[in-house]
Structure 1
Amino acid sequence: MDYKSKLVTLSNRYNPERVPLFETRHFSNSGLQSTDRDVVQYVKKAMCAVDEDYTRKTKEAGEAAKVHLERVLRDVSFEYQGSVMTDTHIKGVSDIDLLVLCEKFYGSDIHRVREELQRQYLYTTEELSRLRSYDQSFYSYQGNSSEDLGNLRAGIERTMKYIYDDCDTSHAKAVKIRNKHLNRDVDIVTSSWFQSLSYVLHDMPKEELGIKIYNKDKGYTEGPDYPFLSISRINSRSAETNGRLKKMIRFLKNVRTDSDLNIPLTSFDINAICYSIPVLDYINLDYRGLVRVLLSTIYYLCTDYKAGELTSVVGDEYVFRGKPEKVEALKALGLEVYQIETELDKR
């Protein structure tokens, strides 16, 4: 495998605007040595975070779009989701997901809450108190939530078309704009809140709030998803392991992206693979050890149908079950990691 070419590709991706002295500044904390073989340099660089200046500009592009929307929209709030929020994005120029949340209503697990109140023996006194309080304070929205979200999406489209020359409104779930000044993309997602049974039982922490995403082609929401809980869990576990979890996530994303093979695995899939690894298996490992543990994990998942048991970071969805094409993609990724691990072992 030609790691010299891969190094050029990776460096160009991390530094697409050719900032002077980028290599020295950005990779200074990676343990990189000028005498390292090409494969070692590739692995170390592939585990590094995107330069802070690029991430800052990406967030600025999101904030700029948010400011424009705040001026014209009412009864909304804003949040961000995606790999930029965990610092596991791999491209120097990355897009960011700006959620525009309708505050007129919220989705709810009220039926499950009421069902669980009939099984009081399963819960503590404190949990029962939370369930009862939620039930008693709940009210049904009298408006038309689908119409509200349709109007919100239309308002986002009008505003973004007026402000941005490069504005794509053809996608069902997001308005895509490009901030030409900052050279960044922003996906603007029409959505609404969802309060799950778990959210109520755990005393309503913000990170457990769900969202439902509006699909304008279908005219209704899909989900719920729990992006804030996923972000919180990845950030917390990576902090526990001195950044090693995020190093593994970035490494697999870079290997996937640099492969000559088509490996259609998403950030969602790769997050789940890395998050599933027990902390004690890698908490003290160096870059070589991290590659080995990733290889053994992928091998494990690809044998005896173990991939079908892997759940998302949040634990609410099976990642590979019933998706043979994703299992094949996982095998292809494993082959790439195997070749890297084999090359690392050469002296």
Structure 2
Amino acid sequence: MISFENRLKSLKDRRQGTRERALLDNNLSIYSQSDVRSREHYEELSESAPIKYAIGAMAAVDSRSTQISIEEGERVADTLISMLATVGINAEKEIQGSVALDVHIEGHSDVDMLILKSDIVLVQTPKIDGSACVASDARPMKDIIRELRQQSETKLTSRYHQAEVNCRGNKSIALSGGSLKRKVDIVPACWYHTHEYQKTFAKHHKGVEIYHKGDHKLIGNQPFLHMKRINDKDAMYSGNLKRVVRLMKNLIADMPDYKKRIAKNLSSYDIAAIGFDMNDQLACPTYLTLALVEKLRAHLSILVEFPVLRDGIRVPDGSRKVFDNENKIEGLTILHSEVSDLAKSIYRSLNPYGLDVYNSQQLLQKQIFL
């Protein structure tokens, strides 16, 4: 039986930092009886713990905390770009990932910053305009971006000597501690001008090729198309897509370790794709937010039971299937069980003396006004 009182504490600590951290940040003794963290809307509800948890888990992290993450990522990226220029490497920055999409679940979230060569790009051939590709650097692009990666490691290690600069990651350089307010992941890459980008010149059609250090290769990705499609569908359904994505991510974060290890086979892209695939099931007014718990439960149930429907789901940019290995199906099963437990706990809190095990209509009709 899940204790949602305990999970509410975990949720608050994740969203606002622990009480002890908040006291230290405000120069107060950790032995103080006070809790300087602000109370959020979900905490003020006169509802049961499962309902408060569901509403809180779907809510966006405080906008100021998110802005601090973005500002810190941009500050580190700008510093690196300036240092790279001293050795003749021209680069530019872009933000990607959960913070950029506002589907992160931690107040002190890591931020992903792409560092891209700005003076040379990869182009999907044959070029739409029929012209030849003439590169200013004759080296293979993977060698050019390896140099970008190597110089980034050198520059960041020398500049942030009081922080931990972890260069062991294959795709990113992770910085944390020291003067940094957030963990920042620097991701060396280059632009990839797809055929669609050559036709439209729309940023969301621009691809990137991320350098993989261990394999010395470039890995294609379309983060801006992913973000555009998520943002467009989220706007269509009044923010409900991002609500269900945050709910799934929080549920996974709060699982016991033996479950979490399995559920985390689902990446952030996979979780976003599951919510993206709900389509019109995302339609409900904000005062019926709890209906999203039931709609997500029903959607996951269908995906668990019907492989043919599950196999058709692709990530929002269309680049690959979501359920491309058995480990992800196991993760889906665990996630479905967790959402079902939440839905049943909400139902029992609404009907403490009811005889039914579960009645979905209770969640579909329960009104919550924030």
| Class of the TM-score when normalised by the shorter of the 2 chains | 0.7 to 0.9
Distance 1:318 1:66, change over 3 A: same
Q: Map 1:271-290; keep pairs closer than 5 Å.
A: 271-279=272-280, 281-284=282-285, 286-290=288-292
| Residue 124 (structure 2) pairs with residue 109 (structure 1) | yes
| 1:287, distance to aligned residue in structure 2 (A) | 2.1
- Give aligned pairs, total: 320
Counterpart contact for 2:284–2:291, Cα < 8 Å: no
Counterpart contact for 1:47–1:248, Cα < 8 Å: yes
Name the counterpart of 1:156: 152
Name the counterpart of 1:226: 222
Structure 1: 5+ residue runs without aligned partners?
A: 114-130
> What is the CA–CA distance in structure 2 between the aligned matches of 1:96 and 1:2, rounded to whole Å?
31
Deviations 1:186-221 (A, max 9, x none): 1101101112223234x1201110001011222221
Name the counterpart of 2:341: 339
Worse-matched range after superposition: 63-72 or 245-254: 63-72
> What is the CA–CA distance in structure 2 between the aligned matches of 1:240 and 1:209, rounded to whole Å?
23
Name the counterpart of 1:126: none
> What is the CA–CA distance in structure 2 between the aligned matches of 1:68 and 1:33, rounded to whole Å?
42
Name the counterpart of 1:57: 68
Counterpart contact for 2:190–2:210, Cα < 8 Å: yes
| Residue 13 (structure 2) pairs with residue 6 (structure 1) | no
Deviations 1:263-298 (A, max 9, x none): 112211110000111136524362221011111111
Distance 1:7 1:280, change over 3 A: closer
Distance 1:157 1:142, change over 3 A: closer
Q: Map 1:230-245; keep pairs closer than 5 Å.
A: 230-245=226-241
Counterpart contact for 2:282–2:292, Cα < 8 Å: no
Name the counterpart of 2:178: 180
| 1:45, distance to aligned residue in structure 2 (A) | 0.5
Deviations 1:74-123 (A, max 9, x none): 32111010010111000121111111111242222214x5xxxxxxxxxx
Counterpart contact for 1:282–1:293, Cα < 8 Å: no
> What is the CA–CA distance in structure 2 between the aligned matches of 1:302 and 1:99, rounded to whole Å?
35
> What is the CA–CA distance in structure 1 between the aligned matches of 2:229 and 2:120, rounded to whole Å?
27
| 1:147, distance to aligned residue in structure 2 (A) | 2.3
Name the counterpart of 1:316: 319
> Which of residues 46, 53, 57 in structure 2 aligns to 1:46?
57
Name the counterpart of 2:28: none
Counterpart contact for 2:171–2:212, Cα < 8 Å: yes
> What is the CA–CA distance in structure 2 between the aligned matches of 1:79 and 1:281, rounded to whole Å?
30
Counterpart contact for 1:57–1:182, Cα < 8 Å: no
Question: TM-score normalised to the size of structure 1?
Answer: 0.87
Counterpart contact for 1:307–1:327, Cα < 8 Å: no
Distance 1:292 1:314, change over 3 A: same
| 1:154, distance to aligned residue in structure 2 (A) | 1.3
Q: Which residue identity lines up with residue 177 of structure 1 in the other structure?
A: L
Q: Map 1:99-138; keep pairs closer than 5 Å.
A: 99-111=114-126, 131=128, 133=129, 135-136=130-131, 138=133
> Which of residues 281, 301, 304 in structure 2 aligns to 1:302?
304
| 1:137, distance to aligned residue in structure 2 (A) | 5.8
> What is the CA–CA distance in structure 2 between the aligned matches of 1:283 and 1:333, rounded to whole Å?
22
Counterpart contact for 2:77–2:186, Cα < 8 Å: no
| Residue 261 (structure 2) pairs with residue 259 (structure 1) | no
Structure 2: 5+ residue runs without aligned partners?
A: 24-34, 352-370
Distance 1:151 1:283, change over 3 A: same
Q: State the SS of the aligned residue for 1:136.
A: coil
Q: State the SS of the aligned residue for 1:194.
A: strand
> Which of residues 76, 80, 98 in structure 1 aligns to 2:91?
76
| Residue 92 (structure 2) pairs with residue 95 (structure 1) | no
> What is the CA–CA distance in structure 2 between the aligned matches of 1:293 and 1:8, rounded to whole Å?
25
> What is the CA–CA distance in structure 2 between the aligned matches of 1:300 and 1:195, rounded to whole Å?
38
> What is the CA–CA distance in structure 2 between the aligned matches of 1:295 and 1:209, rounded to whole Å?
35
Q: State the SS of the aligned residue for 1:309.
A: coil
Q: 4+ residue stretches of structure 1 with deviation over 4 A?
A: none
* Percent identity over paired residues: 25
Q: Which residue identity lines up with residue 226 of structure 2 in the other structure?
A: S
Q: Which residue identity lines up with residue 273 of structure 1 in the other structure?
A: I
When the two chains are superposed, the root-mean-square deviation of aligned CA atoms in Å is 1.9
| Residue 141 (structure 2) pairs with residue 139 (structure 1) | no
